[in-house]
Amino acid sequence: MQLPLFYKIIKSHLINGDLEPGKEITISINQTLTQDSTGTMVYLQLEALNPPSIKTDLSVAYIDHNMLQSGFENADDHAFIKSVANKRGIVFSKPGGGICHQVHLERFTKPGTTLIGSDSHTPTAGGVGAIAIGAGGLDVAVAMAKGYYHLILPEVYEVKLIGKLPFGVNAKDVILHVLEKLSVKGGVGYAMEYTGPGIASLSVTDRATICNMGAELGATTSIFPSDDITKEFLIAQGRPNDYVKMEADENAVYSKTIEVDLSEIKPLVAKPHMPDEVCSVEEVSGIKVDQVAIGSCTNSSYSDMMKVARILEGNHVAPNVDLVISPGSANILRLLAESGALAKMISAGARILESACGPCIGMGQSPKTDAVSLRTFNRNFKGRSGTMSAQVYLVSPETAAYSAIKGTISDPSNLDINLDITLPDNYGSTDNYFIYPDTKGDKSVVMGPNIKPFPLGSKPENDIKGKVLLKTEDNITTDDIVPSHSKLLPFRSNVPHLSKFAFSTIVDDFHERATQNNGGFIVGGENYGQGSSREHAALVPLHLGIRAVIAKSFARIHRNNLINSGIIPLLWSNTEDYSHVNEMDELILYDIPEALKDRDEIICYNTTRDEKYILKLSISSRERDILQAGGYLLYVQSSEVI
């Protein structure tokens, strides 16, 4: 069979399994990345594994999320990560160096390699023809310690691009168009592979933007071929030897195909509060804007920043608008300063933030009550900005900058300026933010008082009894399970404290429900656990005594994180049974150890309603062993089996 590029790279890294979609495989991992919001937990787990050496070619620990140092917590976590990185042979990227995905794209990503990261937007690196997958922190720790990663092999969804983007339209609009067509569940079970003559008109960072938001489709990853555009990018980044041509076989076979004519795409916007609530900018044009935020790992590249500077040049930010800009890396910030683009932004009245995630993850710049905030980010979940009542729209940098000037949502295709950006022949580098391991230096690990031990699962009892503590709707996000904003992010290394705020975007007493009832169950709808890769969304429920989650379907990373934590993910055999169950119903799951050995179903009895349900246990043989052991860490520590 003629193979898509995704399968070709998988095949070259295959350790166990076959190229059979839906089956579990094991692949070797070349690189890993972490960021500080999830990284503290990763390195606590890595220390628990205590490997003699790191098995990857390269691992990088980035500090880009928890940058506000209003207390000791973030600084202590950074010191901990830095000390483990030095001990274990991991590159450490200091605060200010830039957003992990943008920096990794510039400095380290190689075509044809495999990368996993403890951040759901790791697929950004697919823009240069790498397989890059977001994963739970423990999976990343195991990849560093053991050199491999397990995944269910996805099918490959071809997105065939033709034509060329018209004036004022950004790669952001391309992925919003795909989200409009497929929804936030449309990529579940797939790797998105971009093909066709239209890719020749897209820069590497355009491609990276599209791959970045493949996470919002629910896709395992997204990938473009490595071609002459890739080669030019790597040469300009000073890495010509990293280039390898990578493309699908001629007449490659795909499970599904969608054709997108780039020339027909208009400036688009994702309305509150989901990335697939897409319409044209023209349809919402004229809505008054209170805040505009430009940056994030989605749209903080050199070309995006230069377009923003060109739109702002000679203009001023509208009196009713607060404009903040976050360049993606220290190197981009340097280039903006040297070119004069930074001065144009400042002269227009923009606030320049450091090169970090910042507002994207609620770390500062929360908008005012009931504000309309335009953001060039990847997610607009309710409350993610730090303001529950804010109306957050996702837009391109062109739409954001033009709207900041006009004071209302405005269509950038009405601009009368040249937005063609000439990319540098040489980007140079700003590498003084990297700290490479000192093989002869101090190997001690520094741990501050905010860092608490992470919870461990336990072997399952014969029958699991408990109440339904919460019943949710569809598309519950990990932001709902463990909220992410500036007040809570400093406590990512303190699960007991985070647990007090579990599900607080939905109910205000989940912690009380869990503690008063000694844990219990969560019942979910479709796509439960979508969004961020944060394993805290499994560790917090584990800490609160949740032993199983019953849902109509699970988002990929969260499902894996539940299993890694020793929490059983169960599916309704009959989705109509979902409507029968109410909060505080008492459930009993029978014969758990026996079911985990070889059964595909678990019997659930609702004693409150005197009803019986059949639940599906859709897991691999390895995942059965993990749940029987009480979680992945206990399994890995007690087994040498790959």
Distance separating alpha carbons of residues 439 and 120, to the nearest angstrom: 31
What is the pLDDT, as a whole number, of residue 429? 92
What is the pLDDT, as a whole number, of residue 639? 66
| Amino acid at position 149, single letter | Y
Residue 116 has pLDDT above 80, yes or no: yes
Q: If you average pLDDT over every residue of the chain, what do you get?
A: 94
The domains located in the chain, with CATH, are: 5-264 (3.30.499.10), 268-411 (3.30.499.10), 464-638 (3.20.19.10)
Other CB atoms within a 10 A radius of the CB of residue 513 amount to 20
Rg (CA), the chain: 24
Segment 502-511 shows an average pLDDT of 94
pLDDT digits (tens, 9 = 90+) for 388-403: 899 999 999 999 999 9
Q: Nearest to residue 457, comparing CAs of 565, 336, 601?
A: 565
Of all residues in the chain, what percent carry a pLDDT higher than 90? 88
What is the pLDDT, as a whole number, of residue 641? 60
Other CB atoms within a 10 A radius of the CB of residue 183 amount to 20
Helix, coil or strand: residue 438: coil
Helix, coil or strand: residue 31: strand
Q: What are phi and psi of 543, to 5 degrees?
A: -60, -35
pLDDT digits (tens, 9 = 90+) for 511-548: 999 999 999 999 999 999 998 888 999 999 999 999 99
pLDDT digits (tens, 9 = 90+) for 465-502: 999 999 999 999 999 999 877 788 888 889 999 999 99
**Strand ranges, E, within 247-326:** 256-261, 268-270, 278-280, 291-294, 322-325
Residue 641 contacts by C-beta under 8 Å, 6 or more apart in sequence?
Answer: none
Q: What is the pTM of this model?
A: 0.93
Distances (CA, A) of 461 to 347, 518, 547, 566, 592: 65, 15, 10, 12, 7
CB 433, CB 97: distance < 8 Å: yes
pLDDT digits (tens, 9 = 90+) for 440-469: 777 899 999 989 888 898 999 999 999 999
Q: Distance from CA of residue 566 to its chain's centroid?
A: 22
Q: Distance from CA of residue 85 to its chain's centroid?
A: 22
Segment 98-117 shows an average pLDDT of 97
Residue 642 has pLDDT above 80, yes or no: no
DSSP per position, 360-379: GGTSS-PPPTT-EEEE-SS-
Q: How confident is the model at residue 359 (pLDDT cuts 50, 70, 90)?
A: confident
Give just the sign of the alpha carbon dihedral 66, 72, 73, 75: positive
What is the pLDDT, as a whole number, of residue 9? 98
What is the pLDDT, as a whole number, of residue 291? 97
- Note the helical H segments in 183-262: 204-212, 228-236
Q: Nearest to residue 397, comparing CAs of 426, 366, 425, 375?
A: 375
Distance separating alpha carbons of residues 637 and 620, to the nearest angstrom: 19
CB 564, CB 538: distance < 8 Å: yes
What is the pLDDT, as a whole number, of residue 422? 93
CB 573, CB 615: distance < 8 Å: yes
Distance separating alpha carbons of residues 445 and 27, to the nearest angstrom: 30
Q: What are phi and psi of 394, to 5 degrees?
A: -100, 130
- Note the helical H segments in 251-300: 281-284
What is the pLDDT, as a whole number, of residue 640? 63
Residue 610 contacts by C-beta under 8 Å, 6 or more apart in sequence?
Answer: none
pLDDT digits (tens, 9 = 90+) for 362-420: 888 889 999 999 999 999 988 888 888 999 999 999 999 999 999 999 999 999 999 99
Segment 184-201 shows an average pLDDT of 96
Segment 148-175 shows an average pLDDT of 97
